[in-house]
């Protein structure tokens, strides 16, 4: 089969157990369907990204036994591609001078659907040249938004089925000149031949907008699989601050990468708690339809659970 899957972390720190679990799932989905598996570092924000973090992340993924096709790619090398994509959207974008506070305090957009995520209220959608000049004179720097016009888009998700959402006028370029995730991910997936995207289900709501943008750019949207997140004992999304949840911290407690792989495999119902496994063995057992659909509550002391 042609096509590819990918894992695309942001190099802003070490990967935690939830990140590693999603990476393993992305690898399993890709390899089980005969796809290539690619690595991309989403380092758009120069103030938060660090090459040392990218190197550490690659080392951790390799320690788990995951392999990739080709060399890792970085978004910071592809700014010209994003600019070219925006040029192709001529007439479908507009400058936005709103601050986050102004957006938060503005009345809801008139086409907002009950229960939907808050959308941009359209404050700057139809500014006159004089109004834009006034905002520039105030020292405001504009972001660039997509003019979606209240459109809706449907995507197919391997775990969630058919998902339809209204498309927001989302940001394509921030007011500091940094390209947005929603633009870059569409451009990069198309350029890399990615037709299968496996990522955390916190990003499910963004998929229809990305598919809509793909259609505007004349590139195919991928098939999605949004997988459950890892959460801490309080049910909150897992973070590095939750303790020994990175390979480096667990290694300092005497826990090997192989034992961590077992812990993750157990959470996916792919192994017993004391079984030593490899990605190749998990691939033989992998069945997307049998995956747990609830968030993974990471043990309060992963090291302790592995030693029990």
- Per residue in 55-90, pLDDT (tens digit) is 999 999 999 999 999 999 999 999 999 999 999 999
Q: What is the pLDDT of residue 306?
A: 65
Quick one: 263 and 291 in the same domain? yes
Quick one: 128 and 59 in the same domain? no
Could you tell me the two tokens for 255?
């826990």
3-state helix, strand, coil in the chain (%, to 5): 40, 20, 45
Annotated binding site for Zn(2+): 96, 98, 120, 124
User: Is 221 among the domain residues?
Assistant: no
Confidence category of residue 116, pLDDT binned at 50, 70, 90? very low
Report how many domains make up the chain. Answer: 2
Quick one: 119 and 171 in the same domain? yes
Annotated binding site for L-glutamate: 6-10, 42, 181, 199
Quick one: 276 and 232 in the same domain? yes
pLDDT digits (tens, 9 = 90+) for 125-167: 999 999 999 999 999 999 999 999 889 999 999 999 999 999 9
Q: What is the pLDDT of residue 303?
A: 67
Q: Are 28 and 286 in contact (CB under 8 A)?
A: yes
**pLDDT > 70: percent of the chain:** 94
Confidence category of residue 47, pLDDT binned at 50, 70, 90? confident
- The model carries a pTM of 0.92
Annotated binding site for ATP: 240
Q: Is the pLDDT of residue 113 over 70?
A: no
- Distance, in Å, from the CA atom of 54 to the CA atom of 63, rounded to the nearest integer, reads 14
Q: Is the pLDDT of residue 110 over 90?
A: no
CATH of residue 101's domain is 3.90.800.10
Question: 138: alpha, beta or left, given left = phi > 0 and alpha = psi -120 to 50?
Answer: alpha
Last residue of a domain, one of 183, 218, 253: 183
Provide φ and ψ at 204, rounded to 5°. Answer: -60, -40
Range of the domain at 116: 84-183
Dihedral sign of CA atoms 288, 6, 155, 104 in order: positive
Q: What is the pLDDT of residue 307?
A: 60
User: Is 218 among the domain residues?
Assistant: no
**pLDDT: is 89 or 121 the higher one?**
89
Quick one: 42 and 68 in the same domain? yes
Residue written as token pair 């359209």 = 122
User: Is 95 among the domain residues?
Assistant: yes
Residues listed for the chain:
308
Last residue of a domain, one of 155, 183, 211: 183
User: Is 277 among the domain residues?
Assistant: yes
Quick one: 93 and 39 in the same domain? no
Could you tell me the two tokens for 28?
């399993």
Quick one: 91 and 73 in the same domain? no
- Distance, in Å, from the CA atom of 167 to the CA atom of 151, rounded to the nearest integer, reads 6
pLDDT (mean) for 207-224? 97
Find, among 178, 187, 263, the residue nearest to 218 by Cα. 187
pLDDT digits (tens, 9 = 90+) for 166-191: 999 999 999 999 999 999 999 999 99
HSE of 274 in the Cβ direction (CA atoms, 13 Å)? Answer: 2
Q: Is the pLDDT of residue 112 over 70?
A: no
CATH of residue 289's domain is 3.40.50.620
Confidence category of residue 296, pLDDT binned at 50, 70, 90? very high
Annotated binding site: 6-10, 42, 96, 98, 120, 124, 181, 199, 240
Element holding 61 (H helix, E strand): helix 51-63
User: Is 43 among the domain residues?
Assistant: yes
Quick one: 270 and 298 in the same domain? yes
User: Is 57 among the domain residues?
Assistant: yes
Quick one: 90 and 72 in the same domain? no
């Amino acid at each position: 089969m042609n096509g590819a899957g990918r894992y695309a972390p942001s190099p802003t720190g070490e990967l935690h157990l939830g990140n590693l679990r999603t990476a393993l799932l992305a690898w399993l989905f890709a390899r089980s369907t005969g796809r290539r598996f690619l690595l991309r570092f989403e380092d758009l924000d120069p103030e938060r990204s660090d090459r040392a973090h990218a190197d550490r992340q690659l080392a951790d993924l390799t320690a788990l036994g995951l392999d990739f096709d080709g060399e890792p790619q970085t978004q910071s090398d592809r700014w010209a591609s994003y600019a070219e994509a925006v040029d192709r959207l001529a007439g479908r974008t507009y400058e936005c001078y709103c601050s986050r506070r102004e957006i938060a305090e503005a009345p809801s957009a008139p086409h907002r659907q009950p229960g939907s995520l808050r959308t941009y209220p359209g404050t700057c959608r139809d500014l006159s040249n004089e109004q834009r000049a006034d905002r520039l004179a105030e020292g405001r720097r504009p972001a660039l938004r997509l003019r979606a016009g209240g459109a809706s888009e449907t995507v197919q998700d391997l775990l969630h089925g058919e998902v339809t959402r209204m498309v927001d006028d989302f940001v394509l370029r921030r007011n500091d000149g940094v390209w947005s995730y929603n633009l870059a991910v569409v451009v990069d997936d198309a350029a890399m031949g990615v037709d299968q995207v496996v990522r955390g289900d916190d990003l499910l709501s963004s998929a229809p907008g990305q598919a809509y943008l793909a259609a505007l750019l004349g590139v195919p949207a991928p098939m999605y699989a949004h997988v459950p997140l890892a959460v801490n004992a309080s049910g909150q999304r897992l973070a590095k601050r939750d303790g020994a949840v990175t390979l480096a911290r667990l290694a300092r407690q005497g826990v090997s990468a192989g034992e961590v792989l077992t812990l993750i495999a157990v959470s996916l119902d792919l192994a017993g708690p004391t079984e030593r496994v490899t990605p190749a063995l998990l691939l033989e057992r992998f069945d997307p339809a049998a995956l747990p659909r609830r968030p993974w509550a990471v043990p309060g002391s992963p090291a302790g659970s592995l030693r029990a």
